């Protein structure tokens, strides 16, 4: 690159830095970049993501699940789309790889050491109870736990009342059996969330109930 081109690009870079420094970046503004980055990092998670090659690329069977979670999902008429066919995902993926936040280790895509440090760092929950300041060490909930909690809360369904005459059909959310089931699953979901997010609770209540695990059912759930 000649001197004139180098100077021009340096001027452009200086202008970009100045604009970026004067921009307040918040979750959801400007754009959905922070949200999309979070979606990609949570998809990889502390356990990492198995890849189909050693290149550390997001496998094709995970793309359809990631696409609707980002800020601008796409509808593709392709049977087997690849990462390059999803610019809304590919752009975020390349950004995270270039920044070193995602790294490839053999046939897995994993979070980098600095990101893992943030994930594993404790989160302190502070609140007041009976006039006393309480501080409890918590940990960030993984995407797997979050999805399990969502699935638990979706288990209860209100019964559907068929239309009669001029009365349209509707879901009876005041049904007594539905309300009992809803409260039951919501309580279990909250118990799992607290157990997985609070090491102090986990240590004092071994064998807490967890779906699809061979553990002792906790009576308090």
Q: DSSP for 8-68?
A: HHHHHHHHHHHHHHTS--BTTBSTTHHHHHHHHHHHHTTT-EE-SSTT-PPPHHHHHHHGG
Q: Judge if 99 and 177 occupy the same domain.
A: no
Q: What pLDDT sits at residue 220?
A: 38
- Whether residue 130 is contained in a domain is answered as yes
pLDDT tens profile 120-161: 778 888 888 888 888 888 877 776 787 788 888 889 999 998
Is 205 in a helix, a strand, or coil? coil
Q: What pLDDT sits at residue 219?
A: 36
Sole residue written with tokens 């209860």: 156
- Segment 11-27 shows an average pLDDT of 80
Q: What pLDDT sits at residue 176?
A: 93
Q: Is residue 40 reached through a cis peptide bond, with omega within 30 degrees of 0 on the bond before it?
A: no
Q: What percent of the chain has pLDDT over 70?
A: 89
- Whether residue 214 is contained in a domain is answered as no
Sole residue written with tokens 């980055």: 37
How far apart CA 221 and CA 209 sit, in angstroms, is: 7
Q: Judge if 47 and 108 occupy the same domain.
A: yes
Residue 172: CA count within 13 A, CB half-sphere: 10
Q: What pLDDT sits at residue 205?
A: 66
Of all helices (H) and strands (E), which one includes residue 72? Answer: none
Domain range for 95? 21-119
Q: Judge if 83 and 147 occupy the same domain.
A: no
Q: Rounding to the nearest 10 degrees, give the CA dihedral for residues 11, 15, 16, 19.
A: 170
| Total count of domains within the chain | 2
Q: What pLDDT sits at residue 105?
A: 87
Residue 137 and residue 126 in contact, taking contact as beta carbons nearer than 8 Å: no
Beta strand 160-161 with 132-138 is unpaired
5-9, 58-62, 98-102, 214-218: lowest mean pLDDT where?
A: 214-218
Q: Judge if 189 and 130 occupy the same domain.
A: yes
Q: Judge if 143 and 107 occupy the same domain.
A: no
Is pLDDT above 90 for 180?
yes
Q: What pLDDT sits at residue 181?
A: 93
Smallest CA-to-CA distance from 49 within 116, 121, 111, 114 is with 111
Buried b (16+ CB within 10 A) or exposed e, 122-145: eeeeeeeeeeeeeeeebebbbbeb
Q: Judge if 127 and 110 occupy the same domain.
A: no
Q: Judge if 112 and 78 occupy the same domain.
A: yes
Q: What pLDDT sits at residue 85?
A: 93
Q: Judge if 43 and 77 occupy the same domain.
A: yes
How far apart CA 136 and CA 123 sit, in angstroms, is: 8
- Whether residue 129 is contained in a domain is answered as yes
Sole residue written with tokens 């940990």: 139
Smallest CA-to-CA distance from 48 within 119, 146, 139 is with 119
Is pLDDT above 60 for 221?
no
- Whether residue 92 is contained in a domain is answered as yes
Q: Judge if 126 and 54 occupy the same domain.
A: no
- Whether residue 2 is contained in a domain is answered as no
- Whether residue 216 is contained in a domain is answered as no
- Whether residue 69 is contained in a domain is answered as yes
The dihedral sign for the CA sequence 24, 25, 28, 29: positive
- Whether residue 3 is contained in a domain is answered as no
Is pLDDT above 80 for 27?
no
Q: Judge if 25 and 114 occupy the same domain.
A: yes
């Amino acid at each position: 690159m000649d001197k004139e081109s180098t100077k021009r690009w340096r001027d452009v870079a200086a202008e970009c830095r100045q604009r970026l420094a004067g921009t307040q970046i918040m979750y959801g503004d400007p754009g959905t970049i922070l949200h999309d980055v979070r979606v990609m990092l949570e998809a990889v998670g502390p356990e990492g993501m198995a890849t189909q090659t050693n290149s550390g690329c997001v496998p094709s069977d995970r793309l359809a699940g990631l696409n609707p979670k980002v800020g601008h999902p796409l509808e593709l008429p392709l049977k087997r789309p690849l990462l390059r066919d999803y610019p809304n995902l590919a752009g975020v993926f390349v950004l995270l790889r270039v920044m070193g936040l995602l790294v490839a280790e053999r046939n897995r895509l994993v979070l980098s050491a600095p990101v893992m440090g943030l994930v594993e760092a404790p989160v302190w929950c502070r609140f007041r109870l009976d006039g006393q300041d309480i501080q409890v060490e918590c940990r960030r909930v993984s995407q797997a736990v979050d999805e399990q909690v969502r699935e638990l809360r979706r288990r209860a369904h209100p019964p559907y009342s068929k239309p009669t005459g001029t009365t349209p059909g509707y879901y009876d959310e005041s049904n007594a059996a539905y309300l009992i089931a809803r409260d039951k699953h919501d309580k279990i979901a909250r118990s799992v969330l607290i157990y997985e997010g609070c090491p102090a609770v986990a240590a004092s209540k071994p064998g807490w109930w967890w779906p699809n695990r061979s553990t002792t059912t906790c009576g308090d759930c």
